[in-house]
Amino acid sequence: MKRFNIWFWNLSIIKISLIVSILFFVFGFLATKSHLLEVIFNSLEPLGLILAVTLYLKESPQRRKKQKYEALLTIDTAAGIKSSKARLVALEDLVDLGVKLEEIDLSNSNLIEIEINGAEMNKSNFRNSTLKNSTLNLCKFQKCDFSNSNGSGTESMNSNFSFSNFKDSNFNNSNFKDSNFMFCSFNEASFIGADFTGANLKGVKFENAILNGAIFKNANVDIEELLKAEIKKAILPDGNIYNN
C-alpha cells in the first residue's frame, strides 16, 4: 500500500487519466462481453465521473499548499495594520488546516471575536493586541507575549499558556478552566471575574495584579504568591471566598 501511495502521488495527472481510462474500458468490456464500441459509448458518463474524482484527489495536496501559502501571505501583508478582516479569516483557515503558527507576530492587531480552537501558536507575539470575546479552546500558547493586550471575555479552556507574559494585560471575565499557566507573569494584569477552575497556576507571578471575584476552585496555585495580588471576593482553591 505504501508503494502504491508513492507511485500514485508521483504520477502526472495526464498519466493517471490515461491509466484510469484504459482500465475502465477493459473491465467494462470484459464484464459485459459486448462489442468494444458499445462499451466505450456506454462508459463515457461514468468514466467522466471517475476521472473527475481521481483528478480531484490528485490535486488536493496542491490546493492545500496554495491555500496555506495565500493565508500566510495575507497575515504577513497585514503586519502593522490594526484591523484586517482578511487576517482574521486567514488565521482561522490556517488553524482549520492544522498548520502550526509558531512565532507569528500579531502585535497591535485587532483580533476581536476570533475563533481558533486548537491553534498551535507557541512563541507568538500578541503584545498590544485586542482579543476581546475570542474563542481559543484547546490551544497552545507557550512562551507567548500577551503584555498590554485586551482579551476581556475570552474563552480559552484546556489551553496551554505556560511561560507566557500577561503583564499589564486585561482578561477580565474570561474563562480559563483547566488551562495551564505554569510560570506565567500576571504582574500588574487584570483578571477580574476570570474563571481559573481546575487551572494550573504553579509558579505564576501575581505582583500588583487585580483578580477581584476571580474563581480559583480546585486550581493549583501558590496562595502566598496569590496574596500579592488584589483578590477581593475571589473564590480560593478550597471553595472559600476571600474576604480580607
Give CA–CA dist 136/129, Å, rounded.
15
Give CA–CA dist 18/27, Å, rounded.
14
Domains of the chain: 2-68 (no CATH), 100-244 (2.160.20.80)
Residue 236: phi and psi, rounded to 5, are -80, 170
pLDDT, residue 18, reads 65
Matching residue, cell 507576530: 105
**Which 3 state secondary structure label does DSSP give 175?**
strand
Q: State pLDDT tens for residues 201-216.
A: 999 999 999 999 999 9
219: its cell numbers = 486550581
pLDDT, residue 85, reads 80
Long-range CB contacts for residues 98-104, cutoff 8 Å, separation at least 24: 99/68, 99/71, 104/75
Per-residue pLDDT band for 37 (boundaries 50, 70, 90) equals very low
Angle between helices 36-77 and 13-32 (to 10 degrees): 150
Q: State pLDDT tens for residues 53-104.
A: 655 555 555 555 555 546 556 665 666 667 778 778 888 888 888 888 889 8
pLDDT, residue 193, reads 98
Q: State pLDDT tens for residues 111-155.
A: 999 999 999 999 999 999 999 999 999 999 999 999 999 999 999
